[in-house]
């Protein structure tokens, strides 16, 4: 007995049990049926190995540190600014590691980009109230996700942050 996959006229793939001599599938037809089944399963289950998995676009931004030094950083769409800064050794603290529980990842955005972003949540606004050097375009870096519209954006870091360290120490990035 052979287990054979067959595509019906409605496009469904069925499993059939047949004796080999009575079934007229060629090897290519079986391979096509199996490939079809795997591709529909990959779509249905959103497998990361699927050919249908979207490819994230790279977005390049420039961080401007308090001393004026500029650091170009490229990251995948959907990465938040704090993670991007940490990946590129930009001095953006993020003491709460992105939990929106501090203001140490405070960044200052360009007017155009700030206006295109969704409104900050109440939690983010509460944390921004604690930020040093707050401006009209201030946001928390952990709450801003990269989008293709941000290509070439310049992100200014404030001259200081408020945290619990009084000796000037900064937590190490993970």
What is the pTM for the complete model shown? 0.64
DSSP state for residue 141 in the 8-state scheme: G
| pLDDT category of residue 1 using cuts at 50, 70 and 90 | very low
Q: Give the C-alpha separation, 7 to 43, whole Å.
A: 17
| pLDDT category of residue 100 using cuts at 50, 70 and 90 | very high
pLDDT in tens, 104-135: 999 999 999 999 999 999 999 999 999 988 99
What pLDDT shows up at residue 45?
47
| pLDDT category of residue 160 using cuts at 50, 70 and 90 | confident
- CB contact burial 145-162 (16+ within 10 A = b; e otherwise): bbeeebeebebbbbeebe
What pLDDT shows up at residue 39?
47
What pLDDT shows up at residue 56?
76
Q: Which residue has the higher pLDDT, 126 or 14?
A: 126
Tokens of 154: 């310049």
């Amino acid at each position: 007995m052979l287990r054979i996959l067959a595509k019906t006229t409605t496009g469904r793939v069925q499993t059939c049990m047949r004796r080999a001599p009575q079934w007229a599938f060629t090897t290519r037809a079986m391979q096509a049926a199996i490939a079809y089944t795997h591709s529909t399963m990959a779509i249905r289950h959103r497998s990361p190995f699927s050919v249908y998995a979207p490819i994230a676009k790279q977005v390049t931004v420039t961080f401007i540190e308090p001393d004026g030094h500029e650091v170009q950083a490229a990251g995948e769409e959907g990465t938040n600014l704090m993670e991007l800064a940490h990946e590129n050794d930009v001095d953006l603290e993020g003491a709460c590691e992105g939990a929106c529980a501090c203001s140490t990842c405070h960044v200052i955005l360009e007017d155009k980009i700030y206006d295109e972003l969704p409104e900050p949540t109440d939690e983010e606004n509460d944390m921004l109230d604690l930020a040093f050097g707050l401006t009209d375009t201030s946001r928390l870096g952990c709450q801003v996700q990269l989008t293709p519209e941000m290509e070439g954006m310049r992100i200014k870091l404030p001259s200081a942050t408020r945290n619990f360290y009084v000796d000037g120490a900064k937590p190490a990035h993970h």
